[in-house]
Amino acid sequence: MRRDSAARRSFAPPCATCLALALIHTTALGASTSAPSESTLARELDQLHRDLAELRAQGADAWLTEERAAQVRAIVADVLADAGARASLRGDGATAGYDAAKGGFFIRSADGNYSANLSLLEQARWTINSRQGALPAFLGENDTWGFQNKRTRLTLAGNVVDPSWTYKVAYYLDYTGDAEFYAAPFVAANGPVLADAWIAKDFGNGLTLTAGQFQSTHNASLEIDAGNLQFIDRSTIAYYFNLGYTQGVKLAWESDALRVQGLYDNGPYTQNRDFTTDSPGYQYGLGARVDWKVAGSWDQFKDQQSWRGEEFGLRVGGAVEWDQTNEASANSAFMATLDAAADFGGANLFAAGYLFDPQGNGQNPMGFELGGGVFVADDVELVARYEYGDLDGQSTAIFANAFSAVTTGANWYFSRNRAKLQGAFGYAFDPIVAGQWIKEGAENNWLQDATGEDGQWTIQAQISVSF
């Protein structure tokens, strides 16, 4: 009986199945026609104990697995509920994520009054350049090739106080070139360079005031972000007739069809300047630009391409700039431009004409560019551009005053302008020997020719990532 009591005390069925089997076994023993002996009962109880142990080993794991799964689900639910509660307490419910429309990662307060959007532009380029004739030693070899990190830019933008107050800070960690930022004799290093640094107030009804450092609105090509171009870079002509970054104030008004901008600033290429007795080299700079959107939307002209399925769009614009130096009035300058862009939903055209009138020297440099592209597939685009400029005697060598070049290429868009691979072939018809064309041409990897030589060509490939 002690053994029977001990066996009963050890009986702890792990599940309903085990209990049922044990009852069946016991019932079978009780239904026997003859009473078993004590030794037989002991053997049966021992066997029952072993059977239960085996069932416990087989069934307990499954039972525990179900229990553990239920417990894990409960724990996960508790953790998520706790995380949600903590998130609602942190920054009054601030949100974070990726904004595909603006192309950057953001942090935003729950009420939307404060936000920060961080984005990156990275462009890596490979170029081969071939020049004709016997080059002097300081110009190197006729054929030159290699890689360059053309642009690496970080941008922080958003709003403060409320959505009507916006800001932008764009910083080039590396930039190989200087035509976008400096005019001779101010030559920039390869980087770093502070570009945009401004704050703006939206007064409603399309009226906005911007103060700080920003790109001049004179040139429509320079108003398009470098990551949204359909060519590897802007044209040499566009860089020459560019006023670069400046510091000042800009008042803009925009309606459904018109956009008007007026500037009062320090003059062209006056970004990142210190305040000195000669600051900033100009008494003032005054500029104005007007754009008429005949069809389409303003947003579609933020990039140069016309994607398949996009609506028809047409924009016509013009700008003027008057800059007065701190010296004699003869050193003042006037610039004017007319430009247009048309999107056909899978193809586009653009054109621009430029005039520069430095007062007092009787010379009027001018230039123009014409280009466009067509999509031959949803993600493949063919492009072509022709550009021409004439310095009108500003160079001492008459044959060096003209610059003309044609560029053809193809673009493969992995995710539109977020990630793309671009290729191009360029051919310069005139000798590149004038200082201005050497400087601005460097943005497109044109190099100085030997005197009297022309026919320079380049092959380029560039990968551009913008997010």
pLDDT, tens only, 271-299 = 887 777 666 667 889 999 999 999 999 99
399 inside domain: yes
Give the residue from 58, 82, 106 where a domain finishes. 82
How confident is the model over 358-363, as a mean pLDDT?
A: 74
Give the residue from 34, 61, 82 where a domain finishes. 82
**Token couple for 247:** 């510091």
Question: How many percent of the chain have pLDDT more than 70?
Answer: 77
Residues 152 and 35 in one domain: no
Range of lowest pLDDT (34-48, 306-320, 366-380, 410-424):
34-48
pLDDT band at 247 (very low <50, low <70, confident <90, very high): very high
pLDDT band at 91 (very low <50, low <70, confident <90, very high): low
Give the residue from 30, 64, 82 where a domain finishes. 82
Residues 456 and 437: beta-carbon distance below 8 Å: no
Question: What are the angstrom distances between the C-alpha of 297 and each of 80, 208, 217, 292, 312?
Answer: 43, 19, 19, 11, 9
Cα end-to-end distance, the chain, whole Å: 82
Question: What are the angstrom distances between the C-alpha of 379 and each of 8, 314, 461?
Answer: 78, 23, 17
140 inside domain: yes
Residues 240 and 196 in one domain: yes
Range of lowest pLDDT (65-74, 270-279, 340-349):
65-74
Q: Please tell me the predicted confidence (pLDDT) of residue 284.
A: 84
Residues 447 and 332 in one domain: yes
164 inside domain: yes
Question: What are the angstrom distances between the C-alpha of 467 and each of 105, 120, 278, 461?
Answer: 8, 5, 40, 20
Average pLDDT across the chain, whole number: 84
pLDDT band at 32 (very low <50, low <70, confident <90, very high): very low
Residues 354 and 446 in one domain: yes
**Token couple for 362:** 């009787």
Residues 47 and 126 in one domain: no
Q: Please tell me the predicted confidence (pLDDT) of residue 100.
A: 78
Of 38 and 227, the one with more pLDDT:
227
How confident is the model over 347-362, as a mean pLDDT?
A: 88
Residues 66 and 120 in one domain: no
88 inside domain: no
Q: Please tell me the predicted confidence (pLDDT) of residue 263.
A: 96
How confident is the model over 112-124, as a mean pLDDT?
A: 94
Of 192 and 26, the one with more pLDDT:
192
100 inside domain: no
- Dist. CA 430–CA 441, nearest whole Å: 12
pLDDT band at 3 (very low <50, low <70, confident <90, very high): very low
87 inside domain: no
pLDDT, tens only, 130-170 = 998 888 888 888 999 999 999 999 999 999 999 999 999 99
Could you give the count of Cα atoms lying within 13 Å of 222 in the half-sphere of its Cβ? 24
Q: Please tell me the predicted confidence (pLDDT) of residue 282.
A: 75
Q: Please tell me the predicted confidence (pLDDT) of residue 89.
A: 45
Residues 408 and 451 in one domain: yes
Q: What residue has token string 């072509």?
A: 384
Instruction: For 436, list phi and psi in degrees, rounded to 5.
Output: -65, -45
pLDDT, tens only, 207-229 = 999 999 999 988 999 999 999 99
Range of lowest pLDDT (105-109, 124-128, 285-289, 404-408):
105-109
pLDDT, tens only, 286-337 = 999 999 999 999 999 999 999 999 999 999 999 999 988 766 555 788 999 9
- Dist. CA 171–CA 158, nearest whole Å: 15
- Dist. CA 155–CA 122, nearest whole Å: 12
Q: Is 401 left (phi over 0), alpha (psi -120 to 50) or beta?
A: alpha
How confident is the model over 56-73, as a mean pLDDT?
A: 62
Residues 194 and 241 in one domain: yes
The answer to whether residue 7 scores a pLDDT higher than 50 is no
How confident is the model over 356-370, as a mean pLDDT?
A: 86
Residues 206 and 291: beta-carbon distance below 8 Å: no
- Residue 198's domain is classified under what CATH number? 2.40.160.10
Question: What are the angstrom distances between the C-alpha of 448 and each of 137, 180, 453?
Answer: 12, 19, 10
**Token couple for 285:** 């700079």
Residues 246 and 138 in one domain: yes
The answer to whether residue 21 scores a pLDDT higher than 50 is no
pLDDT band at 268 (very low <50, low <70, confident <90, very high): confident
Residues 252 and 148 in one domain: yes
Q: Please tell me the predicted confidence (pLDDT) of residue 38.
A: 62
78 inside domain: yes
pLDDT band at 30 (very low <50, low <70, confident <90, very high): very low
How many domains does the chain contain in total? 2
Residues 329 and 264 in one domain: yes
Residues 165 and 241 in one domain: yes
Q: Where in the sequence is the domain holding 10, given as residue range(s)? A: 2-82
136 inside domain: yes
| pTM for this entry | 0.77
